[in-house]
Amino acid sequence: MRTIGVATCGGDAPGMNAAIRAITRIACTKNLKVLGFENGWNGLITNAFRHLLPHSVMGILHTGGTILRTSRSLEFRTEEGIKKAAETLANNNVDGLVVIGGNGSFNGALALSKETDTKIIGIPATIDNDVFGTNETIGFDTAVDTAVVAVDKIRDTMVSFKRVFVIEVMGRERGFIAATVGLAVGAEIVLVPEIQFDKNQVFKSIKEKRAKGKRSGIIVAAEGIGDCQKLAQEIEENTGAETRRSVLGYIQRGGNPSARSRLLASLFANKAIELLLNEQGNRVVGLQDGTITSIDLETSCKTEKPLELDLVNLASILTR
């Protein structure tokens, strides 16, 4: 192992920079050359990279986004794109590649691994927390904190107007953010794609609460459940409660990473370099039961991470 590459792919997540910094500094300590590929997979396709040295990653630990930039590369989804990326790795004698990203990125990494001898390690970084093989991804904790702060602000209007709010959080087709935020803000109702819900039950629950004198309320809904604006309208029509929808959107992806996201980034990076120095590839690093570990890349890609449904149940018990 002499030269390694690092790239951030897919949606940016707070803590990606902390991971780039740790990869670079740990690798340099081990006398590895580090190439930072620009714009995610596109940098591998177009041979766009910069040499990273310990001072190149100065002052980025606390910043959101990614200094290497990212993309959702359409070309990388083609055979030709993957071949070009493999050529870039071979032409630059890249022995190991660290891919910092989520599920989509790891599927790309898996496809690339079939075309290259370069050892590939995935570092899970996505606010969605939907990567199998790790209890937590880099950026998830920060996104949850950001959403909780936002909901606490919305609460002021909610209480002042005695309104019901449907607050839509990110997470793609998964409910990790919604379930965690819902519990943390004391939401009356948490809606996640993993649990089928009956709108009539939602109306009933709101009406019962109103009958008991609780006239405002928070519904935290994952974006994956469908049309939250329609849901808000239907709640108003069916319960009489003035209802608004609020989409938290991209603020969840931005901002300074929390201490936890920075810590995970540093520990994951350390594990990634350790694996590469042991000539191991096709692994995804992760946190499992308090231990930094790794699993097979293909297993991570092909297995759906279960959502702890207890979180949603607990949220509903705590709001009674």
Just list the catalytic residues.
Answer: 128
Instruction: For residue 250, count other CB atoms closer than 10 A to its CB.
Output: 11
Question: Are the CB atoms for 30 and 12 separated by under 8 Å?
Answer: no
Which residue, 109 or 273, has its beta carbon nearer to ligand F6P? Answer: 109
Contacts of 212-215 with CB under 8 Å at 24 or more apart are 214/188, 215/162, 215/241
Residues paired with 138 in a beta bridge:
125
Which residue, 50 or 72, has its beta carbon nearer to ligand F6P? Answer: 72
Which residue, 40 or 171, has its beta carbon nearer to ligand F6P? Answer: 171
Which residue, 126 or 300, has its beta carbon nearer to ligand F6P? Answer: 126
The identity of residue 158, as a single letter, is: M
Q: Measuring CA to CA, how many Å separate 168 from each of 131, 146, 165, 191, 192?
A: 21, 13, 9, 9, 10
Number of helical (H) and strand (E) elements in the chain, helices listed first: 11, 11
CB of 74 to ligand F6P, least distance (A): 12
CA 2 to centroid of chain Cα atoms: 30
Which residue, 73 or 88, has its beta carbon nearer to ligand F6P? Answer: 73
CB of 265 to ligand F6P, least distance (A): 16
Task: Compute the radius of gyration of the chain from its Cα atoms.
Answer: 21
Say how far apart CA 141 and CA 136 lie, in whole Å.
8
CB of 227 to ligand F6P, least distance (A): 15
CB of 139 to ligand F6P, least distance (A): 9
Q: Which residue has the tokens 């209480």?
A: 159
Say how far apart CA 319 and CA 107 lie, in whole Å.
39
The encoded tokens of residue 223 equal 């974006």
Strand runs labelled E in 23-89: 33-37, 49-52
With H, G, I as helix, E, B as strand and everything else as coil, classify residue 296.
strand
Binding site for ligand F6P (CB under 6 A): 11, 72, 102, 126-128, 170-172, 223, 253
CB of 251 to ligand F6P, least distance (A): 11
Which residue, 64 or 281, has its beta carbon nearer to ligand F6P? Answer: 64
Say how far apart CA 72 and CA 104 lie, in whole Å.
9
CB of 317 to ligand F6P, least distance (A): 27
